[in-house]
Amino acid sequence: MQYNDLRANIQSDLGGRTDLVPSLIDSEVAQRVNFYQTENFASQSTLDYSIVTTKGASIYPLPPYTIEVTGMWYLLGISTWIKLWPENFETLVELDDIQPSTQAPPNLYSVYGTSFKLFMTPDTQYPLRLACTKMIPPPVNDGDVNFWTQAGYSLIRWATDATLARGYLGIPSMGDEYDALASRELKRLNEFSEIIQSTCYIQPHMQ
């Protein structure tokens, strides 16, 4: 199921009204996704390779939608990933109190807020690999496929139906019907997530 299928079904659920333009549906879908992103089922473990260090810079923003960082490595040469070790942020600040900072390959990291700090301060560009848990972003483009157009499809479909029916169409009874369907689907997803988390844990192989 692609995002354009989800959008088309929402419009069909609400009578196929031509005034339910894509931008209106897109806005409400994004709001519903943001509302449910804190649920246990709405995150995924992933490896992120988007960050490359800068010579002389020790602080970097976390990748978008990151909830937790569980591991970090930097690439030495073309194929060797060197593990960085987590450390308390205050400790890194104390270690890094020399100005200018000592520049060398990093060996420690600390996450604070939406950023992280490396120590030592990188002396050149190093690609980073972050093992992290991320919230799943809302679909945007017609061909987007992710959790919200697959396993979470019914939840977002009915939740969006409910808010548009009640707030845009002014039909509270229809909104209540779709709210009931969304609540049922939310319960199902949470129950399934609890079963998966209690019966298995898959840890990716790391160097």
Residue 205 belongs to a domain: no
Alpha helix locations (H) across the chain?
3-13, 22-36, 89-95, 153-167, 172-199
Domain boundary among 134, 154, 182: 134
**Domain shared by 129 and 178, yes or no:** no
Decide which of 104, 134, 164 is a domain's last residue.
134
- What's the structural domain count of the chain? 2
**Per-residue pLDDT reduced to its tens digit, 119-165:** 999 999 999 999 998 888 899 999 999 999 999 999 999 999 999 99
* In a shared domain, residues 55 and 99: yes
Going edge to edge, which strands form the sheet with 43-48?
43-48, 128-135, 66-76, 80-86, 108-112, 115-119, 59-61
Do 128 and 163 lie in one domain? The reply is: no
pLDDT score of 199: 45
Structure tokens at 80: 């060797």
Q: Are residues 178 and 103 in the same domain?
A: no
Q: Which domain holds residue 148?
A: 3-37+138-198
- pLDDT tier at 30 (50, 70, 90 boundaries)? very high
Is 204 part of a structural domain of the chain?
A: no
The tokens for 7 are 């959008």
In a domain, 206, yes or no: no
My answer on whether 70 and 124 are in the same domain is: yes
52 with 121, same domain: the answer is yes
List, for residues 169-202, the tens digit of each pLDDT value: 999 999 999 999 999 999 999 887 766 554 444 4
Residues 115 and 127 in one domain: yes
126/162 same-domain check: no
Indicate whether 10 belongs to any domain.
yes
Mean pLDDT, rounded, for 93-99? 83
Collapsing DSSP states into helix, strand and coil, what is residue 196?
helix
Which segment of 40-49, 103-112, 153-162 scores lowest on mean pLDDT?
Answer: 40-49
Is residue 118 domain-shared with residue 183, that is, in the same domain?
no
Answer whether 129's CB lies under 8 Å from 207's CB: no
Residues 180 and 153 in one domain: yes
Cα gap 42→67, rounded to integer Å: 11
